[in-house]
Amino acid sequence: MSVVDADQNRMMEEECILVDSQDHPIGHATKRICHDNKNIDGGMLHRAFSVFLFNSKNELLLQQRSKVKITFPLRWTNTCCSHPLYTIKEETQEKESIGAKLAAIRKLEHELGISKNTFTTDDFHFLTRIQYRASSDEKWGEHEIDHILFVRKDVELNLNCNEVATVRFVSPSELKSMLEDSQLQTSFITPWFDLIANKFLFSWWDKLDEILENRGLNDAEARDRIHVLSRD
């Protein structure tokens, strides 16, 4: 896909945090460089986050990515997926994934219009990290270590149509139906969301109250491990 949208093109110059396989920072590069399949083939890996926002009814907020997104346009995914930036000093913080949480607050406002005053970093609960790789097309792809963040809050939305086509809240049964549909239509769900949902999400969802009360997973090994996931 050629980059034609001005806003998306501009954001391709934002600087991601390059990491090794243990999520240790080793440098920085633009999104354009990080998401180029040629560099991914060479092993380039960067840090990301995925927010799963639940309302007071424990329904999960999903977004459909806009048609002008460079990678995986118009696919359904979790609430918000993006990157802490190297050029924002606070977002490079490592302890308790504070940098990823601050980036999440910034991007929830940018993509979904949720005021940054809605959250503090204490509202977000780090669960674990996943590493995955996926190609969007011949040119662009993803290769990320993704910090998984849960938050429960009733929010007001004001969608940025350059980022998000539409949204919906779903129950576990409704999401299972969507995932079953996606097996017949491979361009329906983002690969990282598909991996997380099929491997972890429903068991976490069953224990949502416990996870939020404990501020994350009780299982220290699962929390500290980087789970390498593949659709193969």
Whether residue 81 lies in the annotated active site: yes
For 227, half-sphere exposure in the C-beta direction (CA atoms, 13 angstrom radius) is 18
Long-range contacts of 204-212 (CB under 8 A, 24+ apart): 204/127, 204/150, 205/58, 205/60, 205/172, 206/172, 208/54, 208/58, 208/150, 208/152, 211/125, 211/127, 211/150, 212/125, 212/150, 212/152
174, 196, 226, 208: which is closest to 81 by C-alpha? 196
**Choice among 16, 80, 81, 109 that is catalytic:** 81
For residue 29, the cross-strand partners are 16
What does each C-alpha distance from 56 to 60, 126, 215 come to in angstroms? 10, 19, 17
- Alpha-carbon distance 87 to 26, whole Å? 14
Residue 204's contacts (CB-CB under 8 Å, 6 or more residues apart) are 127, 150, 211
CA angle 145, 44, 200 (to 5 degrees): 20
Give the DSSP H/E element, type plus range, for residue 95: none
Whether residue 144 lies in the annotated active site: yes
**Choice among 111, 142, 144, 163 that is catalytic:** 144
Residues marked as catalytic? 81, 144
